[in-house]
Amino acid sequence: MLVAKHISKKFGAYQALDNVSFEINKGDIVGFLGKNGAGKTTLMRILTTFITASSGSVLIDGEDITKHSLTVREKIGYLPEKPPLYGEMTVKSYLKFAAQIKGVSAKKESWQVAKVLDDCGLTRVDKQKISTLSKGYQQRVGIAQAIIHEPKLLILDEPTSGLDPIQIMQVLALIKNQREQRTVLLSTHTLNEIEQVAQRVLMLKSGQIVLDESLDELLKKKQLTQSHPVTLEQIFIDYHQDTPLTQLSTQG
Amino acid sequence: MNKTFAIVKKELHSYFSSPIAYLILIATLSLFNVFFFLIIDQNHEASLRDIFILMEFMFVFLIPLLTMRMFSEEKANGTMEFLLTSPLTLTMIVLGKYFSMLIFFTLLISMTATYYFILEYFGNPDPMSILSGYIGIWLEGAFFIAIGLLVSSWTRNQIIAALVSYALIFLLYFAASFTKYFSGSVEHFLVQISTRTHLENFAIGIITPSNVTYYLTGTILCLVLTRLSIDNRLWQ
């Protein structure tokens, strides 16, 4: 579904991404990990064609994102870190607008809007102005606009950031429900969330991929060397400090 | 075309969902009405010539206020990322924004058409010179809007967008006033780039290809530059 080859991105002298390559298969939910500044958002912005890579190539559903940018964007649903919402619009009028600019046919528009309102639990607030909604509801509207045109690939940049535990649970359930319909790539700081929804983990450190493995395999592999249950959180810390936490625990 | 129309609809909805659009319409029309009666009372002429000159002067101040938010707000709110990652061409985005403001501006000046009917009732105005004046003021408004749109694509700060638009529009409006300090080709250049030089002809009922070309070229140039500015993500 997605093939990224040797992607590098420089902002002036700063190397944000350095020779990043990975593949994502159809139907996968992939969790994207990394500290702040690791290059997650930059990579997501390149995949969604918002910015261009300094070098390297990306194929989405077999099409090059720079050569067939418009066709590729029809296949992508994207929720940036800050939900892109127009506060003065009602939920329904915003989703109609999103459907129109994302190429949903006039015939399907009303049906599609009603479907995502229902899927995202927004029917009750569809006539409310977006600016009056809670953060959790605004996040759901952000996800709703990302799936309104039934994209094959859904890219979510920290979809649970700033939400309370109940809202996080609801958003994660919504993401899990996408599994059967589309491929999902999501970034988050909360490792527990990746464990709940993702099948595979990609970890970025200083602009490079340092881990690309199925979550089950990864936990199993680490478990073999440890006497106690290993969590993704421990693995994450291992990759970001000099003395691995898993070794410290064993030594202790 | 449908996608451009969707942007136009959304933008117009956005203007009219806040009281600012109504306030601008009411305040501008009220001022025009006062000056219309003052000018007619003073000149005793069935002509809108001086009204067009006044309108031009007022649009110099008004249009940057209307255009300052067009792209700046999208950038500040993060919705620019939404537009640019949707299957829209840059031309669709620029034209959608531009046409929506042009429609608002057309609505504003069309409301002053009542002046013609008032003149017609009391006197014998020349309909062709009035039509020519309206074409001139519409073309000039279209040009000013394109300038405002271009400047708004450079920054995420609406105040900066308004101030830079003022600077550019003032420069074009007052260019002819600086001719006394220059001579030769510079003087000629200043006369040619001044909007006042070109509108004066329209206001007295003369439409020349060079005047129309001036406004159309300026407008198209600004729209092309806006597209380039967004493509280069200059605000990032």
Q: What is the distance between the terminal CA atoms of chain A, rounded to a whole angstrom?
A: 44
Write the ipTM. Answer: 0.87
Cα-Cα-Cα-Cα dihedral sign, residues A75, A81, A85, A90: positive
Query: For A89, which residue in chain B has the nearest alpha carbon?
Result: B14
Strands A2-11 and A14-24: antiparallel
Instruction: Provide the pLDDT for residue A33.
Output: 87
Q: Which residues of B touch A84 (CB under 8 A)?
A: 77-79, 81-82
pLDDT digits (tens, 9 = 90+) for B108-137: 999 998 888 888 888 888 889 899 999 999
Q: Do A88 and B17 touch (CB under 8 A)?
A: yes
Q: How far is A138 from chain B (nearest CA, A)?
A: 14
Q: Is 80 exceeded by the pLDDT of residue A198?
A: yes
Instruction: Provide the pLDDT for residue A252.
Output: 41
pTM of the prediction?
A: 0.88
Q: How far is A248 from chain B (nearest CA, A)?
A: 43
Q: How far is B47 from chain A (nearest CA, A)?
A: 42
Q: Which residues of A touch B88 (CB under 8 A)?
A: 101
Q: Do B81 and A50 touch (CB under 8 A)?
A: yes
Best mutation target, A51, A63, A101, to test chain B (most B CBs within 10 A): A101
Q: Contact at 8 Å (CB) between A54 and A8?
A: yes
Q: Which residues of B touch A106 (CB under 8 A)?
A: 2
Query: For B233, which residue in chain A has the nearest alpha carbon?
Result: A51
Q: Do B87 and A70 touch (CB under 8 A)?
A: yes
Q: Does B17 touch chain A (CB under 8 A)?
A: yes
Q: DSSP string covering A41-96, please?
A: HHHHHHHTTSS--SEEEEEETTEETTTTHHHHHHHEEEE-SS----TTSBHHHHHH
Residues of A with CB under 8 A from a CB of B: 45, 48-51, 70-71, 73-74, 76, 78, 80, 82-86, 88-89, 93, 97-98, 100-103, 106, 145
Higher pLDDT, A245 or A134: A134
Q: Is 60 exceeded by the pLDDT of residue B235?
A: no
- Placement of tokens 């790539």 in the chain: A185
Q: Does B103 touch chain A (CB under 8 A)?
A: no
Q: In whole angstroms, how large is the CA radius of gyration of chain A?
A: 19
- Placement of tokens 């409006």 in the chain: B173
Q: Do A88 and B18 touch (CB under 8 A)?
A: yes
Q: How far is A98 from chain B (nearest CA, A)?
A: 8
Nearest to A80 among B2, B81, B89 (CB): B81
pLDDT digits (tens, 9 = 90+) for A127-164: 999 999 998 899 999 999 999 999 999 999 988 877 78
Q: Contact at 8 Å (CB) between A172 and A196?
A: yes
Q: Mean pLDDT for chain B?
A: 90
Rounded Cα distance between B207 and B211, Å, is 7
CB pairs under 8 A between A and B: 66
Best mutation target, B5, B82, B235, to test chain A (most A CBs within 10 A): B82
Rounded Cα distance between A158 and A83, Å, is 10
Q: Does B77 touch chain A (CB under 8 A)?
A: yes
Q: How far is A104 from chain B (nearest CA, A)?
A: 10
DSSP class of residue A39 equals S
Q: Contact at 8 Å (CB) between B36 and B115?
A: yes
Q: How far is A10 from chain B (nearest CA, A)?
A: 14
**Which of the residue ranges A103-107, B31-35, B146-150 has the most confident prediction, judged by mean pLDDT?**
B146-150
Q: Which residues of A touch B6 (CB under 8 A)?
A: 97, 100-101
pLDDT digits (tens, 9 = 90+) for A37-64: 888 999 999 999 999 999 999 999 999 9
How many other C-beta atoms can be found within 10 angstroms of the C-beta atom of residue B132? 20
Mean pLDDT (whole number) for A102-108: 92
- B135: Cα separation from own chain's centroid: 12
Instruction: Provide the pLDDT for residue B151.
Output: 96
Instruction: Provide the pLDDT for residue B161.
Output: 95
Q: Does B3 touch chain A (CB under 8 A)?
A: yes
Q: Does B233 touch chain A (CB under 8 A)?
A: yes
